[in-house]
Structure 1
Amino acid sequence: MRKGRLILGSAVLISLLTACGGADTTGRDEVVQGNTSTYKGVSWKGEAKGVKLEDTDQKIETTLTLDDEGIIKEVRMDFLSFKNGEWVARNNPEAEVSIDFTIDPQAAVPGAEYEKGVSMFDIKTNDMMSLYALGVDEDGTVALAIVDAVIRYKLEAKFEPGFDFDTQVGELTINNGMVPTVRTSGSGLLKPEDWSELEGKNLFDLHMFNHVISDYGVLEGVDESSTVGEMLTALGVEFVDGVPSQMEATHGFHSNGGWKGNYDSIAEYLQGKNANEITSLIDWSLPRYAKGINEDNAFGLESRAGATRTVQDSFDSIAGSTVRMSRENTSYQAALVDAGIISEEEVVKGRF
């Protein structure tokens, strides 16, 4: 095994012996017996650049449970961040949400001199990716927040009594109907220096990758031509005679469901498959991926002609996921090393 990688965990043999109860209609006692083993692998921030596991603050762990023929019985994938002296799961979907309806949202100052804006929402959660939150006050005022994955800002809208809910969603443009109040991450694909750069853009046409909002999840089928009322109904608001009914603050995840939704999709994709046959979540034979792998079997560390530095397919998905996948694949392959299915040299270390 190549030095420098730490594979967490080893095979844990679990013997399952189950006697079937109830009336015996076969003339014999039926006993179902089988063996499963559990393996764990990890990838981490900085791994491909030589950072040691104990020195990182972000990692992805994959736990595979296989039967004695290599069939994947269970999968668990966790994105962990080290905060306040402990590891917390970013794919934990729990959140505490409160809304101050007396506040009018005000835009953040974007760019290098970023300053937080004024938000109606107080949200405490580990997972802000694709999060939405909303509530309806007793007078029918609706407060809505949606995190956009491309610019990584929380977009907020306030619909007060008298608002025309037949208004098309496309009329709620960035900083003119949908107010970018708080930056949730500095690693957005688009990093506007001024909101005028996105003038006239709305949530659905902000970037080509925003098709995932309409193609997956709670807002499937909703687009810029839909009405605001249709969008809010999809998010759980009930209308009586055209007026929103009071609703406690709630939250969820649009598109493919945030980190948890994407990792659950990977697990669903792998469930029941033979790990001896699925030795990678990514087809590395594709030229745009293959050309991005260097002599140390690390992917995406430098720009190369004809190569991409990111493995992602939000249109057709990769192993059920719409997020970039090279680091998740590294974690999965590390679990296969732990299981003895592939060698350490076969693991592609993805850019974290």
Structure 2
Amino acid sequence: MIMVLALALTVLVVVVGCNDEQAVMTEDSSLEGTYVGYSWRNEADGVEFEDADRYVETILHLNEDGIIEDAKMLYFQQADGYLTARQDGSADVWVDFSVDPTKAEALEGSDYQAGESMFKISTSNLMSFYAAAVAEDGTTAATIVDPWTRFQFEMKFPANFDFDDTTVGEMTIGSDLIVPTGRTGGSHPAEWEDLADKNILNIHPTWSHVVNDEGVLEDIDQDSSTRELLEAMGVEFASGQPQAMAVEYGYFGLGGWSGNYEAIEEYLIGQDATEVTSLIDWEDNPRWSDAVNEDNVFGVDVPSGATRTVQNSFDTIAGATVRMSRESTSYQRALLDAGILDEDEVISTGRF
């Protein structure tokens, strides 16, 4: 009787032990939780995250199966000693209607000289920025940032300007109806004489499409009137004349950095994080994959024919039109935090 009881207890212990182990395994296999990943400027040069002045943060909330239920991506940068979010689209804009805008000169090197500008703008980043205002006397001021040269282009119109019969296609750099007054960041040097017959919609044959592919300027083309362009930028007309208004501003295309990061977030929500392990399909383009070295760092050792830029503004990458290597690294590090990836599977970026 004692032996039978002992045997029964042994079996019970074994069964309970197996059930406990199964419960633990089930609990451990759940991916539910919030995970965070980072990429930062100069990490390929040995800079530690704590010392970074710019970084991208990805926050993912996964359910138990690894489905992304919520996603947040933020780009932080140092400005005046403080960290600010690049995708913060708020801006302070002042307009001096007494100024006649003039072209920037000496576009390369230390001899660069900004032109005269009607606008003073304080914001975290000017990518895709536009603004317009109308004085009480009907004078209209407008500005738009070109995505290729990254220069701020300005337009100033008197109240009696022919808004209806002057087209966007006629508003060329050579006509002085649109004036590149200053660069807004790292710019592509250009000689204005070489771009004299170009306007804001066709400065570059590859990249200018982002101005009016979608967003507030989607209906604007070469044949659109100046009035139609200004109306898209927020100016109201009555009896063919612009009406006095304070500054209106916004971001064309996807909506600047805010719109691009929101597009990435929308792309990620609902995805299976165990399957979507990178924002970039590296094999989709050999020019990208060939620039990933043996240490899994992109953009440091770039052979001939490869590139340091992962970008597809036509079909987008994860919904965005901007460069994506730093965002993909940050996303992968969030998957590393979740235990989905190992460190040696993360492709870090040498170009931030």
TM-score normalised according to structure 1 size: 0.86
Distance 1:288 1:157, change over 3 A: same
1:178 maps to which residue? 178
Q: How does 1:206-285 map to 2 (within 5 A)?
A: 206-207=203-204, 208-285=206-283
RMSD: 1.6
Between stretches 314-323 and 135-144, larger displacement belongs to 135-144
Provide Cα deviations, 1:110-160, integer angstroms capped at 9, x if missing partner. 222111221111111102111101111122221101011211111000011
2:68 maps to which residue? 72
Residue from 149, 152, 171 that aligns with 1:151: 149
Q: Does structure 2 retain, via aligned residues, the 8 Å contact 1:65–1:75?
A: yes
SS of the counterpart of 2:185? coil
SS of the counterpart of 2:100? coil
Structure 1: segments with no counterpart, 5+ residues: 1-33
Q: Does structure 1 retain, via aligned residues, the 8 Å contact 2:292–2:301?
A: no
1:81 paired to 2:77:
yes
Which ranges of 4 or more aligned residues in structure 1 deviate by more than 6 Å? none
- The offset of 1:277, in angstroms, is 1.4
Q: Does structure 1 retain, via aligned residues, the 8 Å contact 2:101–2:116?
A: yes
2:193 maps to which residue? 196
- The offset of 1:35, in angstroms, is 9.5
Provide Cα deviations, 1:329-349, integer angstroms capped at 9, x if missing partner. 011111110111111111111
- Once residues 179 and 301 of structure 2 are traced to their aligned partners in structure 1, the CA distance between those partners, rounded to angstroms, is 36
Residue from 58, 68, 73 that aligns with 1:62: 58
Q: Does structure 2 retain, via aligned residues, the 8 Å contact 1:132–1:254?
A: yes
- The offset of 1:221, in angstroms, is 2.6
Letter in 2 for 1:316: D
1:327 maps to which residue? 326
- Once residues 36 and 342 of structure 1 are traced to their aligned partners in structure 2, the CA distance between those partners, rounded to angstroms, is 15
Between stretches 246-255 and 300-309, larger displacement belongs to 300-309
- Once residues 329 and 270 of structure 1 are traced to their aligned partners in structure 2, the CA distance between those partners, rounded to angstroms, is 12
- The offset of 1:42, in angstroms, is 0.8
Provide Cα deviations, 1:234-277, integer angstroms capped at 9, x if missing partner. 11211111111111102100111111110000001111111111
Letter in 2 for 1:173: T
Which structure has the highest helix share of the two? 2
1:38 maps to which residue? 34
Letter in 1 for 2:169: G
Letter in 1 for 2:197: G
- Once residues 118 and 330 of structure 1 are traced to their aligned partners in structure 2, the CA distance between those partners, rounded to angstroms, is 40
Provide Cα deviations, 1:279-338, integer angstroms capped at 9, x if missing partner. 101101122221111111011223313322211011111110000111110111111101
Provide Cα deviations, 1:62-94, integer angstroms capped at 9, x if missing partner. 111112221112111111111222211111000
- Once residues 71 and 208 of structure 2 are traced to their aligned partners in structure 1, the CA distance between those partners, rounded to angstroms, is 28
Provide Cα deviations, 1:156-185, integer angstroms capped at 9, x if missing partner. 000111111121112112262111112110
SS of the counterpart of 2:70? strand
Letter in 2 for 1:231: L
Which structure has the highest strand share of the two? 1
- The offset of 1:56, in angstroms, is 2.5
- Once residues 157 and 84 of structure 1 are traced to their aligned partners in structure 2, the CA distance between those partners, rounded to angstroms, is 30
- Once residues 71 and 292 of structure 1 are traced to their aligned partners in structure 2, the CA distance between those partners, rounded to angstroms, is 31
Provide Cα deviations, 1:23-66, integer angstroms capped at 9, x if missing partner. xxxxxxxxxxx995211111111112322223321111111111
Structure 2: segments with no counterpart, 5+ residues: 1-29
- The offset of 1:231, in angstroms, is 1.0
Letter in 1 for 2:327: E
TM-score normalised according to structure 2 size: 0.86
1:161 maps to which residue? 159
- Once residues 101 and 262 of structure 1 are traced to their aligned partners in structure 2, the CA distance between those partners, rounded to angstroms, is 33
- Once residues 182 and 76 of structure 1 are traced to their aligned partners in structure 2, the CA distance between those partners, rounded to angstroms, is 33
SS of the counterpart of 1:202? coil
SS of the counterpart of 1:106? coil
Residue from 134, 137, 140 that aligns with 1:139: 137
Between stretches 40-49 and 259-268, larger displacement belongs to 40-49
Letter in 2 for 1:196: E
